[in-house]
Amino acid sequence: MKLIFEKSVPGRRCAILPACDVPKVELPAELKREAAPMLPEMSEVDVSRHYTELNQHVHGVNCGFYPLGSCTMKYNPRIDEEMASLPGFAAVHPLAPKAAVEGCAEVIETAKKYLCEITGMADMTFQPAAGAHGEFTGVLLIKQYHDSRNDKARTKIIVPDSAHGTNPATAAMCGYQVVNIPSAPDGCVDLDALKAVLGPDTAGLMLTNPNTVGIFDENILEITRLVHEAGGLCYYDGANLNAVMGVVRPGDMGFDCVHLNLHKTFATPHGGGGPGAGAVGCKSFLAPFLPHSALMEEPGHIQVRGFRGNFLVVVRALAYLLTLGREGVPEAAQNAVLNANYLMQRIKGTFTPAFDRICMHEFVLDLSEFKKATGVSALDVAKSLIACIPPRCTSPSSSTRPSCWSPRRRRARRRWIGRRRCSAPCTSWAIRTPRSCTPRPTTPRSAGPTR
């Protein structure tokens, strides 16, 4: 597409002004510019066509799905955008007096109520601006809890190697020593390795579930039990809650705090780096440490971001929840899992799944044999798919882990984790699947434990 300046033709004009009917006034010479401004000279219809053409280059849900490879792709219903663009939400001033923003406060309270119910948590903040920021906030809750008990010996956070890369980075940023533990051959946490590192210095464990190879950890109850037994707390990376929402709850599985990527699971398009919200939920004993909005003016609370965070992301999340309803939430999760498994089975004859078992919302393929046979690498395949989906090529799985990280990533990871050498070229890639939202009745769940 040409720039508007390239379309300019000297002498063309958009408007023909009416003849001047007042006396002409000459500006003083010092106020006059020396050269004419370099504005494009175009006819009105050309200007209109130019901007209409530009408009057609903007990607949106009406043109296609959001092709985001590193986060969960999904269908973000148009109505959620419409709710977020209502002037009463979009134009609200962050310093508006409380009485003028009661509707916004109600949005936050209602979203909190539903998301706490979905996660099995007692309280929640929407301040963090994204998933990694939510993790940072959540691990600070753990830190504050131990500090409040004067338990200074707890200096380590355990992070399985199937965790999202932000987990070890978060723990390190919060001042903890990161203890990396390997996965067992089935892709789940190796329980013996976990037991070996647990001790009085354990502050907590961060678990990404489903993990980055798309597997729901079968030993999850045992994992949280062991960590609690050692006096640590359990953090659930729920960025990809769309695989389990409404079906199981982190709170019921023994987790003490969780973050959700509202910009992935709950209807804010995230591709290209839009605004996010890393909502952090926690059990009641951690709630006193939650950051609160400056508006609430409560003493003693930390604040991790101005005001209440990216409010419009919360509006979209609430609109999404209200549209799906109690039955639609688990239905969307079930569809995400069904879609991923369908795709895995279809692809199986051509590429090899790294874990040939039921996956959750995503799966990882091992392309090492394919590369040997054809010379075509995972990166080549991923690049060839970019027009329809950009798959992730950096998955840590026991069969592909050492082979898929770039030297820079390997060096960075070694700095965080202090372990493991990697040498082979990229050989694996992961696919996450969209979900749909057709409602279907499900059975109600029981309430979660209070811890």
Binding site for ligand PLP (CB under 6 A): 70-71, 130-132, 164, 166, 208, 237, 239-240, 261, 276, 278
Q: How far is the CB of 234 from ligand PLP (least distance, A)?
A: 15
Q: For residues 268 and 368, which CB has a smaller minimum distance to ligand PLP in the complex?
A: 268
Least separation in angstroms between CB 134 and ligand PLP: 8
The three-class DSSP label of residue 203 is strand
CB-nearer residue toward ligand PLP: 71 or 354? 71
Q: How far is the CB of 215 from ligand PLP (least distance, A)?
A: 13
Does residue 1 contact residue 57 with C-beta atoms inside 8 Å?
Answer: yes
Given the complex with ligand PLP, which of 230 and 239 has the nearer CB atom?
239
Question: Could you tell me where the DSSP H helices lie in 68-174?
Answer: 78-84, 87-90, 102-119, 131-148, 166-173
Take residue 322 and report the two structure tokens written for it. 């209200």
- Would you say 128 or 328 has its CB closer to ligand PLP? 128
| Residue 275 CB, nearest approach to ligand PLP (Å) | 10
Q: Which of 222, 233, 155, 173 is nearest to 194 (CA)?
A: 222
**Beta carbons of 263 and 130 less than 8 angstroms apart:** yes
Nearest approach in angstroms of CB 69 to ligand PLP is 10
Residue 146 vs 361, nearer CB to ligand PLP: 361
**Cβ 245 to ligand PLP shortest distance, Å:** 14
Whichever of 79 and 417 has its CB closer to ligand PLP, that residue is: 417
**CA gap 200, 140 in Å, rounded:** 19
DSSP letter at 176 equals P
> Which residues are registered as beta bridge partners of 238?
260
Return the number of the residue (231 or 278) whose C-beta is nearest ligand PLP.
278
Rounded to a whole number of angstroms, the distance between the first and last alpha carbons of the chain is 58
Burial of 381 (C-beta count, 10 Å sphere; 0-12/13-18/19+): buried
- CB 150 → ligand PLP: shortest distance, Å? 31
Question: What is the residue type of 358?
Answer: I
Which ranges constitute the DSSP H helices of 218-310? 220-229, 262-265
